[in-house]
Amino acid sequence: MNKNTISKGNNMKNNPIKAKAINVGATNNAKLQAYKKAVTDKATQEINKIEEDIKSLEQNKI
């Protein structure tokens, strides 16, 4: 049997297609988590830069 064969009978719980779908889901979840972290980090950097700019403007105003 190759990896695309649909198992029948006693081997239904070991269905290779189902296992492949679960693995794809896990990969997509890991990619999503990495993307969310990258976006959050970038947003945090932007917020910190804005806060520094505001502090600088406030100091120059006085």
Quote the pLDDT of residue 40: 96
Residue 5 forms part of a structural domain: no
The number of domains in the chain is 1
Residue type, 24: V
Quote the pLDDT of residue 3: 52
pLDDT per position in the chain (62 positions), as tens? 455 555 555 555 666 666 666 666 667 788 889 999 999 999 999 999 999 999 999 998 76
Quote the pLDDT of residue 1: 47
- Under DSSP, the state recorded for 2 is -
In terms of phi and psi (left: phi > 0; alpha: psi -120 to 50; beta: otherwise), the region of 5 is beta
As given in the structure block, the two tokens for residue 60 are 């120059």
Quote the pLDDT of residue 18: 65
Residue 43 forms part of a structural domain: yes
Residue 11 forms part of a structural domain: no
In terms of phi and psi (left: phi > 0; alpha: psi -120 to 50; beta: otherwise), the region of 6 is beta
Residue 10 forms part of a structural domain: no
